[in-house]
Structure 1
């Protein structure tokens, strides 16, 4: 099983277009520090790939990744991308679908509620410009899915929240517990990886599940609960945004510290997060705990 981080930043990327924070300035001066918006590709055989979410940066992410390029020997409109699994209806997880409207059939895996969000927006009708172009399959918590030969996926239920773009009137027709998922991948050899780009909280049950994985990629959006509020008053806290902060006595760093037998990687990292600043105390705390900081192009082989 191969997992490839096409993007490791939270919404807005690094640098963020309207931000002059120290992290954004550093990434403009040193482009190797830059990160595009959160995106994962996974494959059992290295030929057929499943995308997990569809970031606004998807076109560039696919363009710079040679193994995801069309192969002319298989036809004019070939693609190694076999489908897209959505873990939420957040804009930075679904906008990239609009970049996949070029007449090629695409399989979309999501919960009923997330699929309902797509169906309610006429923009996404562009994914079905020819009959049968858009193929959808409903996924349910804890029900295994086999989107590719040799790759089993088990959706993980997480506490969710409604994205701000969903109208209040529509929320009554949706299920809150279907709005945010984690994903557990299992290879035919029994190797396991978990991907949690949004992690509202860590329960003992979830921690036990992660302890049985070979690698976990975990929400690293914000270091502290009030990180954004200190930068701009009136912005939401980490918890209000559905993200468990890394630092503090109840943060994910404390929760993950004991999983020393598991490879742990932070991804979906916001441009404001001090773990991105080389030499910062926050970065040292993460690295000293044996946890890695994800970056674009990071490859995990299991």
Structure 2
């Protein structure tokens, strides 16, 4: 199984367009040892090098596709290596890119839970809009059940219901499946990836799935709970936004994984000091054998 990190930042990217925190200003002025990042999205494939599944479609999808020629096999006048799309939630930074993919010559096979489908056909009717262009062939995700996707039948997928809420624009009440993680297993090699870009807390069941994976690609949004408050850019805490911080527990959970498990943080907010590669916080992660995802990173599971 091959995993390609298309975007590794949280919503807004890095640097964020209107932010002048020390990270954003420093990278913009090239005064920090940090690299820019686009908004979180990954692509996964099995044995077929031209059959990728896009997991979340960020607002930066066009730039991400241009930066990753593996996703453009160029077999015909109009072509793409993307066969399927899987959504982990209905947040704007994970779904807006769907509109940029409207030129597809066929309806997109789109996997999502009932709550996500409700949001994207009512409060934020992206899927309704796409029906006037390429169309969407929606496939239902039921948390806990396994499914396979076109072109990568040797991979099987399982959704994990995670604590979380619908996006602020949603008009409905919270329900299981509003936020999911994914377990992807390569049945040929009996190897697993656990992908959870938004984690509010880790319980015994989630940890069991993480511990059974050969690579864990997990929420790295914030370093501290009051990160945004300290910088004066928001009154919200990380917990209010549904994210477990590295200093508030995520490092401890990752430490408990088997030594052979690869641990990678993704969905990193522009304010997080781990974006600076020679920061004290990055040294802490290095000491705990935790990696920080970057755009273009390749992971073989």
Indicate the residue corresponding to 1:213 in structure 2.
213
Indicate the residue corresponding to 1:36 in structure 2.
38
Indicate the residue corresponding to 1:86 in structure 2.
87
- Structure 1: runs of 5+ lacking an equivalent: none
Provide Cα deviations, 1:42-80, integer angstroms capped at 9, x if missing partner.
000222000111101011001111111151x3x322211
Q: For residues 209 and 22 of structure 1, what CA distance do their matches in structure 2 show?
A: 36
Q: Report the Cα offset of residue 83 of structure 1.
A: 1.2
What are the within-5 Å matches in structure 2 for residues 10-25 of structure 1? Answer: 10-25=10-25
Q: Of 253, 270, 281, which residue of structure 2 is paired with 1:255? A: 253
What are the within-5 Å matches in structure 2 for residues 128-207 of structure 1? Answer: 128-129=131-132, 133-147=135-149, 148-167=152-171, 171-172=172-173, 175-188=174-187, 189-207=189-207
Q: TM-score, normalised by structure 1?
A: 0.92
Q: Report the Cα offset of residue 141 of structure 1.
A: 0.8
Say whether the 8 Å CA contact 1:228–1:235 is kept in structure 2.
yes
Provide Cα deviations, 1:219-255, integer angstroms capped at 9, x if missing partner.
000001111111226521111101111103xx10111
- RMSD (Å) for aligned C-alpha atoms: 1.6
State the SS of the aligned residue for 1:240.
helix
State the SS of the aligned residue for 2:138.
strand
Superposition misfits of 4+ residues, deviation over 6 angstroms: none
Across the two proteins, how many residue pairs are aligned to each other?
292
Q: For residues 37 and 122 of structure 1, what CA distance do their matches in structure 2 show?
A: 21
Confirm whether residue 243 of structure 1 aligns to residue 243 of structure 2. yes
Indicate the residue corresponding to 1:56 in structure 2.
59
Say whether the 8 Å CA contact 1:101–1:128 is kept in structure 2.
no
State the SS of the aligned residue for 2:206.
helix
Provide Cα deviations, 1:145-167, integer angstroms capped at 9, x if missing partner.
10132111010111111211113
Q: Report the Cα offset of residue 123 of structure 1.
A: 4.1
Say whether the 8 Å CA contact 2:146–2:158 is kept in structure 1.
yes
Provide Cα deviations, 1:117-154, integer angstroms capped at 9, x if missing partner.
11113443231225x73110010111001013211101
Q: Of 125, 128, 147, which residue of structure 2 is paired with 1:125? A: 128
Confirm whether residue 271 of structure 1 aligns to residue 267 of structure 2. no
Over 3 Å counting, the alpha-carbon distance change for 1:208 and 1:275 in structure 2 is same
